């Protein structure tokens, strides 16, 4: 192998490692939630993304149904219907998470929102979390413990109930 071929091989190895993430480089980060002291599986473990997304979808559908029902009762026009589902969703998530630590979708799928310090989520931290969740982008940026920026800002994590 010539010097150029060898150097190209090293670059390909580094790029493959970078593209594949640190796990392909042999770095063991542990399971999601391990560094937070959560169990690997079962109650109290980090909720998987599929269930979280399904719970979010259920909550969004409920917000749409509630909004549609209320707007028909009050006879609102189509121009007034634009932001109401988002506001309904935000209000529902804020109050339910702040008061009981879960939404209807999370309840149906056996999930709940918990604070890392063990205290109840509360209305203030639930508001912070909900505002960032409704903004969408912070919820898409997550860490190795499956916590989006909205969870990190509020000091919360979604776990199995």
The 10s digit of each residue's pLDDT in 97-116 is 999 999 999 999 999 999 99
Q: What is the pLDDT of residue 12?
A: 47
**155 with 113: CB under 8 angstroms?**
no
pTM above 0.85, yes or no: no
Work out the average pLDDT over 118-141: 92
- Residues 138-158 have pLDDT tens digits of 888 888 899 999 999 999 999
Half-sphere exposure in the Cβ direction for 139 (13 Å, CA):
14
Q: φ and ψ at 99, to 5 degrees?
A: -90, -40
User: DSSP for 77-130?
Assistant: -GGGGSSHHHHHHHHHHHHHHHHHS--HHHHHTTEEEEETTSS--HHHHHHHHH
The β-bridge partners of 159 are: 46, 112
Exposure of 104 by Cβ count < 10 A (0-12 exposed, 13-18 middle, 19+ buried)?
Answer: middle
Other CB atoms closer than 10 Å to residue 87's CB: what's the count? 12
Residue 39, helix vs strand vs coil: coil
């Amino acid at each position: 192998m010539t010097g150029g071929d060898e150097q190209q091989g090293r670059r390909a190895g580094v790029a493959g490692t970078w593209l594949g993430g640190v796990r392909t480089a042999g770095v063991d980060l542990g399971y999601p939630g391990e560094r937070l002291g959560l169990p690997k599986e079962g109650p109290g473990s980090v909720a998987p993304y599929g269930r979280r997304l399904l719970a979010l979808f259920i909550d969004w559908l409920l917000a749409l149904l509630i909004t549609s029902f209320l707007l028909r009762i009050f006879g609102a026009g189509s121009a007034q219907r634009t932001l109401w589902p988002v506001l309904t969703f935000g209000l529902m998530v804020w109050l339910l998470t702040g008061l009981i630590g879960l939404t209807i979708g999370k309840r149906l799928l056996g999930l709940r929102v918990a604070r890392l310090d063990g205290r109840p989520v509360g209305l203030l931290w639930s508001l912070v979390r909900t505002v960032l969740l409704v903004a969408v982008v912070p919820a898409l940026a997550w860490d190795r413990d499956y916590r989006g920026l909205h969870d990190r800002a509020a000091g919360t994590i979604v776990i199995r109930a």
